Structure 1
Amino acid sequence: MVSKRLYFFVLVFLGLFGLLLLYKYVNPVEHVLFPKCPVKHMTGLDCPGCGGQRALHHLLNGEFKQAFAQNQLLFFLTPYIAVGFYLQMVPKPTLNELKLRKFLYGHRAIRILLTLIIAFTIIRNLL
């Protein structure tokens, strides 16, 4: 019998895969289908995610320079997020995988990541 957890991960994977296909083939600048940033709309300031949709579109199309120009944070967080998904989906993680998960996603790592996101937001709005 297949577990509910496996069904959940398959559904999440298919949903993410569908979203990635959408972002690859549809440019967020050219379509109203994609949401606009409410922080940018209300304050005029860029949030940490501003430009993320455009960056993802460029990244999926191999346009790394344009992706980096849109949102530097997303450019670097994409591998971090991918590793997180991988480590979450491993059914029986090895000791090394557990250590890596704790190192990358433990309390200390999350505090460092939050500090980097806040610093990135402040810097991008000052420049």
Structure 2
Amino acid sequence: MPLVNAPVPAVEQATRRSGSRRRGMFLVHKRPDPSWRPLHPRARRMLGPAMFVGAGIATGLMLHTVDPREPGHYPTCPFLAVTGLYCPGCGAMRAIASLTDGDVPAALGYNPFAMVALVLLIGIFVEWAARQWTGRQKLTTARPWVIAVFAVLTALFWVARNLPGMTWLSPP
């Protein structure tokens, strides 16, 4: 009986070199390439962060002038309208409008989870803008556990704010 060789797989998994990716606590990114140089000058690299800041200022001005805390200015949350339950984002516009007035306790009362997320997003923005300013390589991706933890916390907040004893998490 002749010996038959096992079929060769159509796709072979590439062997992973040790240390080919840097492992940070929250992010995974490639090791910096010593020959890498930014393609664009600093002014062009900073265009994205500048547009982001401009959009944030425009949104803040809009929420400051057209107050979402007064009925009739903005539509009701569709999830709230259909189910009668609060979604994780319910109260976020009113919270940001309260921040534009300088009323942090009211902002936390409307949506505490959104305020914590806003602080984290500002931190991510600062990191991105600093990388753009210095011309360092962009980060590749967030670690899967970071995304999973954020998704679980969002789901827990969603459930908790709709429980009878947890009305302090619901917007007034």
2:70 partner amino acid: E
Correspondence 1:1-127 to 2 at 5 A: 2-3=43-44, 5-30=45-70, 32-90=72-130, 91=132, 92=134, 105-127=142-164
RMSD of aligned Cα (Å): 2.6
* Gaps in structure 2 of 5+ consecutive residues: 1-40, 165-172
Structure 1: which amino acid aligns with 2:117?
L
Q: What do residues 24-67 of structure 1 show as CA deviations (whole Å, max 9, x unaligned)?
A: 33310226443421110111110000011111111221212211
Alpha carbons 2:66, 2:73 under 8 Å: kept:
no
Structure 1 or 2: more helix by fraction: 1
Distance 1:43 1:62 in 2: 32
Deviant stretches of 4+, over 4 Å: none
Residue pair 2:92, 2:110 contacting (<8 A) in 1 also: yes
The structure whose residues are more often strand, as a share, is 2
Task: Please identify the structure whose Cα radius of gyration is greater.
Answer: 2
Structure 1: unaligned runs, 5 residues or longer: none
Across the two proteins, how many residue pairs are aligned to each other? 120
> 2:154 aligns to what SS in structure 1?
helix
What TM-score results when the alignment is normalised by the length of structure 2?
A: 0.60
Deviation at 1:17, TM superposition (A): 1.1
Q: Return the structure number with greater relative CO, CA threshold 8 A, min gap 6.
A: 2
Matched-pair identity in %: 25
SS for the counterpart of 1:125 is coil
